[in-house]
């Protein structure tokens, strides 16, 4: 795992890698999303447990006293009897649908009346089986719920990966938005410094009688305009810092926040784009949303197969064999059962046919439509992602060209401003010419800065679409997956939540 090692109490520069690591470790939205795959994996275990052994047992005691004898053969005027019994066994369900039961029982009866044995012990040890032959028969049907649970677990993992990629995307964009906000503030501050410098020059020129008071007022108004722009830029920086803190999960926004967040500057150069054909192909092959939909399609196919199974009649084979023992002593009776003194065996077939199968056939039709719908949605997702890749590539490509154009325009406006300023110093033009040239230069610098951030955002979004976002940030799933494990809430988180509960 990446080492986060970042606190908002330090004023050192926060790297993008550290910001992403903090988001993966502390973002509450991601922590919440990790519970779904954990629950899905437990569902796999639940389905697999249907084939576990099951132990059972019971015991009973029954006493009876008749009000009077009912036969001349009775030895007692008020016959009394006592019956006791106990049984224990184990059964197991197999993937063929068969249920096999192994059990043993012992019973004891005693009476004050005539009896061949008193007490009379009866024992048996038996094995029975029930095997479906049509509905619910064989491994394909009986393992389908387990297979469906596994596919559902895979789907939940891909959904979590989609959440992770979205979080990395949001964190990187929030990081560069803050870098842009600080760069824009620096640009405005330089414009303010320039406006203050020109104001000082105009005041000195006014003192010497070279300019009118109007030009001094114009310079003062420009300073105030730039001061207002600085205030707005400070507010944008604060909003960008909070957005990054939210992604990183390192602030609850309840306690006051006094520390600033400093990030790296906007990159001056962008990596060249891969050909659009390669980008579109990688997008279609590696898109997480398509992988999620493929698992959904597989689930619908399993549901269709189970729905078809419901249209078959219940036809079960049953069989059983028990060995019996009987004596006045319990242990002797058991030895008789093991020695097969007596036996009881049976074979049978059971048939149950719902009239018309109307419900089952309606469910099959629903399942067939669900499979077709999921197939069309999968194709639609791939088509949509291919289109998104083309749009994102064109946006990034246009942005790269725009950077070069705005950079050239900025240099030309800078040169024009310097010339107008020199001509103003020589008394050849009015101050308004300088002011307009300065504003054109400021706008050119602002457009260049905007082209950088917009192209950077487009490039980041393109990497999310074509599946290269992790690679872009030096990550892979082996590094990221440990962050997705469901952990017990930390002591700090529990304390924080408790203290914030009304």
Is residue 393 in some structural domain? yes
Tokens coding 151? 């596919």
Is residue 428 in some structural domain? yes
What's the pLDDT tens digit per position in 45-68? 999 999 999 999 999 999 887 765
Evaluate the CA torsion angle 132, 136, 141, 146 in order and state its sign: negative
**Is the previous residue joined to 410 through a cis bond, with omega within 30 degrees of 0?**
no
235 with 165, same domain: the answer is: yes
Angle at which helices 144-208 and 288-309 pack, to 10 degrees?
A: 160
- Of 23, 27, 34, 1, nearest to 480 by C-alpha is 1
pLDDT, position 318:
96
pLDDT, position 183:
93
Distance in angstroms (rounded) separating the CA atoms of residues 82 and 71: 19
Is residue 7 in some structural domain? no
292 with 412, same domain: the answer is: yes
Q: How far is CA 391 from the centre of its chain?
A: 26
Number of domains within the chain: 2
Q: Are strands 54-65 and 99-111 parallel, antiparallel or unpaired?
A: unpaired
113 contacts 76 by C-beta, under 8 angstroms: yes
DSSP string, 366-385: HHHHHHHHHHHHHHHHHHHH
Is residue 14 in some structural domain? no
312 contacts 295 by C-beta, under 8 angstroms: no
Distance in angstroms (rounded) separating the CA atoms of residues 476 and 199: 55
- Of 298, 315, 300, 316, nearest to 364 by C-alpha is 300
pLDDT, position 421:
83
**Helix or strand or coil: residue 62?**
strand
197 with 322, same domain: the answer is: no
59 with 127, same domain: the answer is: yes
pLDDT, position 17:
94
* CA angle 264–269–275, rounded 5-degree value: 125
Q: How far is CA 280 from the centre of its chain?
A: 25
74 contacts 114 by C-beta, under 8 angstroms: yes
Distance in angstroms (rounded) separating the CA atoms of residues 430 and 472: 51
Cβ atoms within 10 Å of 155's Cβ, excluding its own = 21
Q: How far is CA 143 from the centre of its chain?
A: 26
293 with 413, same domain: the answer is: yes
- Of 404, 367, 402, 395, nearest to 461 by C-alpha is 395
36 with 69, same domain: the answer is: no
Distance in angstroms (rounded) separating the CA atoms of residues 123 and 86: 10
180 with 289, same domain: the answer is: yes
Structural domain including 441 reads: 21-45+145-300+366-494
85 contacts 108 by C-beta, under 8 angstroms: yes
pLDDT, position 68:
59
Is residue 348 in some structural domain? yes
Evaluate the CA torsion angle 437, 440, 445, 448 in order and state its sign: negative
pLDDT, position 105:
95
Placement of tokens 């490509």 in the chain: 397
Distance in angstroms (rounded) separating the CA atoms of residues 116 and 119: 9
Tokens coding 464? 């999310």
Placement of tokens 């039961």 in the chain: 101
Residues of the chain with pLDDT under 50: 1-10, 487-502
Is residue 78 in some structural domain? yes
Residue 46 backbone zone (phi > 0: left; psi -120 to 50: alpha; other: beta): alpha
CATH number, domain with residue 445: 1.20.1600.10
181 with 323, same domain: the answer is: no
Q: Are strands 13-14 and 262-263 parallel, antiparallel or unpaired?
A: parallel
Is residue 360 in some structural domain? no
Is residue 59 in some structural domain? yes
293 with 255, same domain: the answer is: yes
232 with 154, same domain: the answer is: yes
Which residues, at least 6 apart from 149, have a Cβ–Cβ distance to it below 8 Å?
Answer: 40, 43, 44, 46, 47
pTM of the model: 0.84
- The stretches of 60-143 forming alpha helices (DSSP H) are 139-142
Distance in angstroms (rounded) separating the CA atoms of residues 391 and 400: 14
123 with 225, same domain: the answer is: no
373 contacts 296 by C-beta, under 8 angstroms: no
246 with 371, same domain: the answer is: yes
Distance in angstroms (rounded) separating the CA atoms of residues 43 and 264: 45
**Helix or strand or coil: residue 269?**
coil
Distance in angstroms (rounded) separating the CA atoms of residues 162 and 292: 9
Expressed in angstroms, the distance from the first to the final Cα of the chain is 36
């Amino acid at each position: 795992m990446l080492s986060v090692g970042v606190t908002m109490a330090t004023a050192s520069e926060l790297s993008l890698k550290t910001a992403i690591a903090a988001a993966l470790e502390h973002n509450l939205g991601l922590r919440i999303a990790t519970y779904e795959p954990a629950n899905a994996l437990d569902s796999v275990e639940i389905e697999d447990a249907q084939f576990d052994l099951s132990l059972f047992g019971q015991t009973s005691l029954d006493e009876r006293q008749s009000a009077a004898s009912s036969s001349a053969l009775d030895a007692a005027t008020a016959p009394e009897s006592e019956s006791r019994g106990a049984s224990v066994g184990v059964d197991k369900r197999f993937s063929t649908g068969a249920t096999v039961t192994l059990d043993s029982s012992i019973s004891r009866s005693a009476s004050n009346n005539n009896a061949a044995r008193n007490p009379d012990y009866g024992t048996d040890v038996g094995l029975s089986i029930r095997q479906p032959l049509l509905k619910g028969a064989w491994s394909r049907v009986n393992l389908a719920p387990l297979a469906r649970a596994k596919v559902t677990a895979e789907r939940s993992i891909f959904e979590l990966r989609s959440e992770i990629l979205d979080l990395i995307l949001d964190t990187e964009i929030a990081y560069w938005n803050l870098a842009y906000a600080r760069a824009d503030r620096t640009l405005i501050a330089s414009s303010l410094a320039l406006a203050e410098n020109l104001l000082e020059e105009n005041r000195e020129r006014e003192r010497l009688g070279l300019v009118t008071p109007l030009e001094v007022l114009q310079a003062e108004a420009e300073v105030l305009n730039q001061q207002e722009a600085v205030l707005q830029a400070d507010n944008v920086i604060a909003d960008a810092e909070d957005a990054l803190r939210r992604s990183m999960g390192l602030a609850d926004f309840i306690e006051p926040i006094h520390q600033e967040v400093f990030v790296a500057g906007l990159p001056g150069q962008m990596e060249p784009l891969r050909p659009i054909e390669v980008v579109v192909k990688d997008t279609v092959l590696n898109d997480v949303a398509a992988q999620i939909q493929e698992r959904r399609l597989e689930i619908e196919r399993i549901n269709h197969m189970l729905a078809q199974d419901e249209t078959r009649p219940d036809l079960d084979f049953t069989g059983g064999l028990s060995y019996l023992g009987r004596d006045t002593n319990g242990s002797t009776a058991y030895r008789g059962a093991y020695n097969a003194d007596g036996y009881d065996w049976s074979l049978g077939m059971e048939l149950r046919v719902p009239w018309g199968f109307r419900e089952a056939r309606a469910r099959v039709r629903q399942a067939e439509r669900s499979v077709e719908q999921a197939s069309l949605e999968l194709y639609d997702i791939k088509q949509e992602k291919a289109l998104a890749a083309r749009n994102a590539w064109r946006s990034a490509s246009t942005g790269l060209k725009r950077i070069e154009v705005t950079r050239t325009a900025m240099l030309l406006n800078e040169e024009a401003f310097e010339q107008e300023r020199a001509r103003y110093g020589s008394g050849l033009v009015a101050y308004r010419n300088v002011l307009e040239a300065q504003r054109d230069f400021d706008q050119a610098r602002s457009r260049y800065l905007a082209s950088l951030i917009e192209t950077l955002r487009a490039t980041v979004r393109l990497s999310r679409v074509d599946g290269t976002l992790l690679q872009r940030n030096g990550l892979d799933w082996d590094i990221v997956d440990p962050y997705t494990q469901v952990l017990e809430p930390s002591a700090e988180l529990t304390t924080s939540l408790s203290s914030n509960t009304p």
